[in-house]
């Protein structure tokens, strides 16, 4: 079998699909080569810096949908600095593996989370380490 049961479950029954109208952070990443586009929305409790809600909209293949879905489950309820530690490897492991040619989907899921956090930081004037973000998603203002 090409895909694990967990991948198929998250593809068939994705969790946290949709938009958050008054999101505190929105991150969108995409890969024109494969056509996958992910948009991640986060709601943050400003006092505790905890992600209280997270939703996603993904246009792409089954692996892109599954990685977006599991990533939202992995960061919901987490402190924002812990959500930043989410790695594509952790996403792949949580799904029970992905075919090699679909690993890029897990990278997009990681980048979408980071882009949403970066947007939250930018909107709230919170300083951050620019090196934590993919080069195409981060333009340092303090060069």
User: pLDDT 10s per residue in the chain (143 long)?
Assistant: 589 999 999 999 999 999 999 999 999 998 666 688 999 999 999 999 999 999 999 999 999 999 999 999 999 999 999 999 999 999 999 999 999 999 999 999 999 999 999 999 999 999 888 877 655 444 444 33
Q: What is the pLDDT of residue 134?
A: 54
Annotated active-site residue 34? The verdict is yes
Residue whose C-alpha is closest to residue 58's, from 72, 40, 76, 33: 40
* Catalytic-role residue among 34, 61, 130, 138: 34
Annotated active-site residue 105? The verdict is yes
Q: What is the pLDDT of residue 65?
A: 96
Give the pTM.
0.89
Residue whose C-alpha is closest to residue 120's, from 86, 89, 79, 90: 79
* Catalytic-role residue among 61, 105, 130, 140: 105
């Amino acid at each position: 079998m090409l895909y694990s049961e967990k991948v198929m479950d998250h593809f068939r029954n994705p969790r946290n699909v949709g938009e958050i109208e008054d999101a505190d952070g929105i991150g969108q990443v995409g890969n024109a080569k494969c056509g996958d586009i992910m948009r991640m929305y986060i709601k943050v409790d400003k006092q505790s810096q905890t992600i209280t809600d997270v939703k996603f909209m993904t246009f792409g293949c089954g692996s892109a949908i599954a990685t977006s879905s599991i990533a939202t489950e992995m960061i919901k309820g987490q402190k924002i600095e812990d959500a930043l530690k989410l790695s594509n490897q952790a996403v792949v492991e949580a799904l029970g593996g992905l075919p090699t040619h679909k690993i890029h989907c897990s990278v997009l899921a990681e980048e979408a989370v980071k882009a949403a956090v970066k947007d939250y930081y930018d909107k709230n004037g919170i300083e951050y380490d620019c090196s934590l973000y993919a080069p195409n998603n981060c333009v340092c203002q303090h060069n």
